[in-house]
Structure 1
Amino acid sequence: MNENVKVVFGLIGGLALFLYGMNSMSDALQKAAGERMKKILGFLTRNPIMGALAGALVTAVLQSSSATTVMVIGFVSAGLMSLPQAISVIFGANIGTTMTAQLMAFKISNYIYPIIFVGFILNFVSKKEKVKNIGMVIFSFGLLFEGIEIMGEVMKPLAGSPVFVDLMGKVSSIPVLGVVLGAVMTLVVQSSSATIAVLQNFASQAGPDGVSSVIGLTGAIPILLGDNIGTTITALLASIGQSKNAKRTAIAHSIFNISGSCVFIFLVPWFAKFVQFISPKGNEIDVISRQIANAHTTFNIVCTLVWLPLIPLMVKIVTTIIRGNDKTEKAAFEPKYLDMKVIEQPAAAMVLVSKELNRLGELAESLLSDLKTAIVADGDSKTHGSFIENLEIVHQLQDSVTEYITRLFASGNLTEQQSEQTAGLLYVNNSIQRIADRCEDIDQICEKVNNNGKRLTSEASSEMEDCIDIIQQLLKKAMEAIRKGDAVVAETVFENKKKMHKAEKKYSKAHLNRVKNEVCDASMTRYFSGIMYNFDRMADNCVSIAEEACDNVAFINLDEETGKSMMERGAV
């Protein structure tokens, strides 16, 4: 096989193994972190410093600043985070992503296969989910380094190539060329971690003198700066079709990296000396990988420290670039919070599901009010039309939530505990759907009554209004219980369910008395009984929602209060 073809195949093969290892490690780290990810997400909305720290931690788990940025854009678009909060998290994400380069700088070539073997054994033999996930982290870590080793081996001949030596000489003397090269590499690969790993490997190759790096630290830094610019494209792509604040968040990410790179490009010689001072000493080819990692970390820390106090200025810049407010709101039946791009981060996706379910519960409460109005209106077409419209909104929104949760399960990224939580949220969703179905059944019964030329007595209408009031209170308490994960509130739902049972008996007896006194037609009994049956079933649906709260199912939110509530219950 041609030598050049071997080099190309080796590079793309090693890169594929690296990216697979990194993605697998990210998935396994998320599962290993499990419920702790909710704790970290709880810090996102506190203050800029905590937001930056949380951004760094989330990125260290996700192994990708792009993934963190996409998640934050989803939160901003859903209105769960303000623009200043999101910007602080983005700053932290840039620091977190440098951990990958620091890992790459370790010289563990002699231990790669033992690491892969240990990871495989832990994952293959253990029955415990946590141990299996830790095993997958170790296994993926080994694969990641094996990909690096493969790329390093095939790049050795390039170090002696006159063409490459000449190109690296130009990059060293023309820093802008290095920035462009780094940006293009990251745009193609869509991973700054991968391109920085390639850079670390290539820089570790000896030049013609056999001692110095083929590129040197001063040549590597501009490429590193270009990598930081190139990685912003993912965020910009993720913001397409999102809210204006989401676009501003993506632009803030770009401004952060571009402004820092523009400043540092003029400081390369001095920056290189500083990095050499804080890095281990030794032969250049032995220490340059660590120097590049330290340069990457230093660059992002310095930029964060500079920009963190200037967040109001960043907000002003991005709001000047993207002017105005969002003019068009989503249709009522469209999900307000769900974002398919966030599905790969289960903890974040569960936050969005929780918000959408909370909204669905509120719509169900409104639907009950519409049903009450429709009953009182006694067949008024306008009132009935409004009820039918809102009923369709609840149905379509429930379908969207079901599809989103199904895709979340299909992603394969959920831990056992997250799977139980998500299954509970799906059950809540189904219970709300059943309440909507019961409202529809009652409406259809009332329509049959009207079509038969009959009318409900004022007493019967009043009794139905009372039943709806009871159901609304039950639903309100049930949603409060699941919102907070509060078993005490759930108990009040179980207790108050008796009110519906008593009301059904009381009003059924009252109906029979009306029939006896010839105030009401006897043929109305089956209709009245059908309506009461549906009310009783709706009360059962509210109890079902409350029961999930007793099974440690709760909405996942970004606010501190909810996090405390869940920790008290031992769910976090």
Structure 2
Amino acid sequence: MQEMLQLGLGLFGGLALFLYGMGLMSGGLQEAAGERIRGILAAVTRNPLLGVITGAVATAVLQSSSATTVMTIGFVSAGMMRLPQAIPIIMGANIGTTITAQIIAFKLSDYVLAFVIGGFVLMQLAKQGRLKLGGQAMFGFGLLFLGIDTMGAVMKPLAENPVFTDMIAQVTGIPVLGIAVGTIMTLVVQSSSATIAVLQNFAAQPAADGGSIIGLDGAIPILLGDNLGTTITALLAAIGQSRDAKRVALSHCLFNLSGCLLFVWLVGPFASVVAAIPPTGAEMDVIARQIANAHTLFNVTMTALWLPFVPLMAKIVSAILPEKDQIPRNPLGSRDELAGNAA
């Protein structure tokens, strides 16, 4: 009982540090660059490829796909952007959010406290302005990695627990179950970056044979579920917004859902492709980077597949969410027409 309590406190305490650090970092970056990013997003009106690039860069800068998605939904709701222009930005936001996983894959444990101290000093010395916001972002960045280290430390005993390893073996053997686990985790935490960080840390724990406790084949379905679960933020942001804004949120959901339905059948081949991407080496040394690469490759591939069909995506979401005043016509004619014919 005591061990379970320590495990729970360490895991959720580390997760709390991660989420708080992510919020501080994202908030500081948004305050410093938010207005400029809003202006750039609003200026993207014609070229779908430019929309993807803008969405990716904006999300990489803000370190929050939710921020980019919510801003885009707001522009559409305000009539500043049309649905076909917004969809590529949402696709780009999916690519940009993978930068977080790539950063986490770097082993920065030895420098975590340096970021915390440096950010704290800047926050205290700078009265206001971008220097203070930069200190906030640095402080949040340090807390983010401190949370990751905390979660990693408490996860190590799990790798030696036969009950837990048997449960993980069942999940890794059924990709659909892995997708469900990843989706539920992200729905609860409301951050795909956090759940992917947990996944990277967990996969880095050694099994009895010296390899990863879950392996790349087992991690990919959970990663797919993380991508699907993150769409709930856009759906929540669209509540009370215009019809087109709701369609933007729905397009985000359909984009990730279509990726899950496609890649769930290709887990083995996809894992082989990811494993061939540098760096290569012992599984335990590269598994975190492989998960980050899989995250990036998945979103880039789905964007490349969907980008030529943005008009089709717009038609699909418009058909699912038609205008409220668009009432299907009675094939026999209206009541007045029928009365006139009868006369």
Scaled by the length of structure 2, the TM-score of the pair is 0.91
Aligned: 1:50 with 2:68:
no
Match of 2:217 in 1: 218
Q: How far is the alpha carbon of 1:279 from its aligned partner?
A: 3.0
Deviations 1:219-247 (A, max 9, x none): 00000000111111121122222222111
From the superposition, tell whether residues 326 and 66 of structure 1 become closer, same or farther in structure 2 (CA, over 3 Å).
farther
Q: Is the 8 A contact 1:43 1:54 kept in 2?
A: no
Q: Tell me how far apart the structure 2 counterparts of residues 129 and 78 of structure 1 sit (CA, whole Å).
A: 29
Aligned: 1:84 with 2:84:
yes
Q: How far is the alpha carbon of 1:131 from its aligned partner?
A: 2.0
Superposed, which structure 2 residues align to 1:52-201 within 5 Å? 52-127=52-127, 129-201=129-201
Q: Tell me how far apart the structure 2 counterparts of residues 83 and 39 of structure 1 sit (CA, whole Å).
A: 18
Tell me which amino acid in the other structure corresponds to 1:281. Answer: T
Q: How far is the alpha carbon of 1:25 from its aligned partner?
A: 0.2
Deviations 1:451-508 (A, max 9, x none): xxxxxxxxxxxxxxxxxxxxxxxxxxxxxxxxxxxxxxxxxxxxxxxxxxxxxxxxxx
Match of 2:276 in 1: 277
Q: Tell me how far apart the structure 2 counterparts of residues 273 and 20 of structure 1 sit (CA, whole Å).
A: 35
Q: Tell me how far apart the structure 2 counterparts of residues 214 and 293 of structure 1 sit (CA, whole Å).
A: 17
Q: Tell me how far apart the structure 2 counterparts of residues 43 and 205 of structure 1 sit (CA, whole Å).
A: 46
Tell me which amino acid in the other structure corresponds to 2:184. Answer: V
Larger Rg: 1
Q: Is the 8 A contact 2:41 2:72 kept in 1?
A: no
Superposed, which structure 2 residues align to 1:306-385 within 5 Å? 306-325=305-324
Q: How far is the alpha carbon of 1:171 from its aligned partner?
A: 1.8
Match of 1:557 in 2: none
Q: How far is the alpha carbon of 1:38 from its aligned partner?
A: 4.4
Q: Tell me how far apart the structure 1 counterparts of residues 114 and 282 of structure 2 sit (CA, whole Å).
A: 28
Tell me which amino acid in the other structure corresponds to 1:170. Answer: Q
Q: Is the 8 A contact 1:252 1:314 kept in 2?
A: yes
Q: Tell me how far apart the structure 2 counterparts of residues 189 and 35 of structure 1 sit (CA, whole Å).
A: 28
Aligned: 1:6 with 2:6:
yes
From the superposition, tell whether residues 85 and 34 of structure 1 become closer, same or farther in structure 2 (CA, over 3 Å).
closer
Larger RCO (CA under 8 A, 6+ residues apart)? 2
State the identity %.
61
Match of 2:235 in 1: 236
Scaled by the length of structure 1, the TM-score of the pair is 0.55
Q: Tell me how far apart the structure 2 counterparts of residues 310 and 47 of structure 1 sit (CA, whole Å).
A: 13
Q: Tell me how far apart the structure 1 counterparts of residues 34 and 245 of structure 2 sit (CA, whole Å).
A: 27
Q: How far is the alpha carbon of 1:37 from its aligned partner?
A: 2.3
From the superposition, tell whether residues 34 and 72 of structure 1 become closer, same or farther in structure 2 (CA, over 3 Å).
closer
Which ranges of structure 2 fall in alignment gaps of 5 or more residues? Answer: 327-343
Q: How far is the alpha carbon of 1:134 from its aligned partner?
A: 1.8
Q: How far is the alpha carbon of 1:33 from its aligned partner?
A: 2.3
RMSD of aligned alpha carbons = 1.6
Tell me which amino acid in the other structure corresponds to 1:77. Answer: S
Match of 1:256 in 2: 255
Q: How far is the alpha carbon of 1:78 from its aligned partner?
A: 1.6
From the superposition, tell whether residues 64 and 34 of structure 1 become closer, same or farther in structure 2 (CA, over 3 Å).
closer
Q: How far is the alpha carbon of 1:127 from its aligned partner?
A: 4.6
SS at match of 1:323: coil
Deviations 1:179-202 (A, max 9, x none): 000001011111111100000000
Which ranges of structure 1 fall in alignment gaps of 5 or more residues? Answer: 328-572
Q: Tell me how far apart the structure 1 counterparts of residues 325 and 246 of structure 2 sit (CA, whole Å).
A: 11
Q: Tell me how far apart the structure 2 counterparts of residues 28 and 324 of structure 1 sit (CA, whole Å).
A: 38
Q: Tell me how far apart the structure 2 counterparts of residues 193 and 229 of structure 1 sit (CA, whole Å).
A: 12
Match of 2:20 in 1: 20
Q: How far is the alpha carbon of 1:128 from its aligned partner?
A: 6.1
From the superposition, tell whether residues 35 and 177 of structure 1 become closer, same or farther in structure 2 (CA, over 3 Å).
closer
Deviations 1:233-266 (A, max 9, x none): 1211222222221111111101100001111111
SS at match of 1:95: helix
Match of 2:296 in 1: 297
Deviates more, 1:70-79 or 1:301-310: 70-79
Tell me which amino acid in the other structure corresponds to 1:139. Answer: F
Q: Tell me how far apart the structure 2 counterparts of residues 115 and 297 of structure 1 sit (CA, whole Å).
A: 26
Q: Is the 8 A contact 1:40 1:57 kept in 2?
A: no
Q: Tell me how far apart the structure 1 counterparts of residues 38 and 244 of structure 2 sit (CA, whole Å).
A: 24
Deviations 1:337-393 (A, max 9, x none): xxxxxxxxxxxxxxxxxxxxxxxxxxxxxxxxxxxxxxxxxxxxxxxxxxxxxxxxx
Tell me which amino acid in the other structure corresponds to 1:123. Answer: M
Count residues in correspondence. Answer: 326
Tell me which amino acid in the other structure corresponds to 1:198. Answer: V
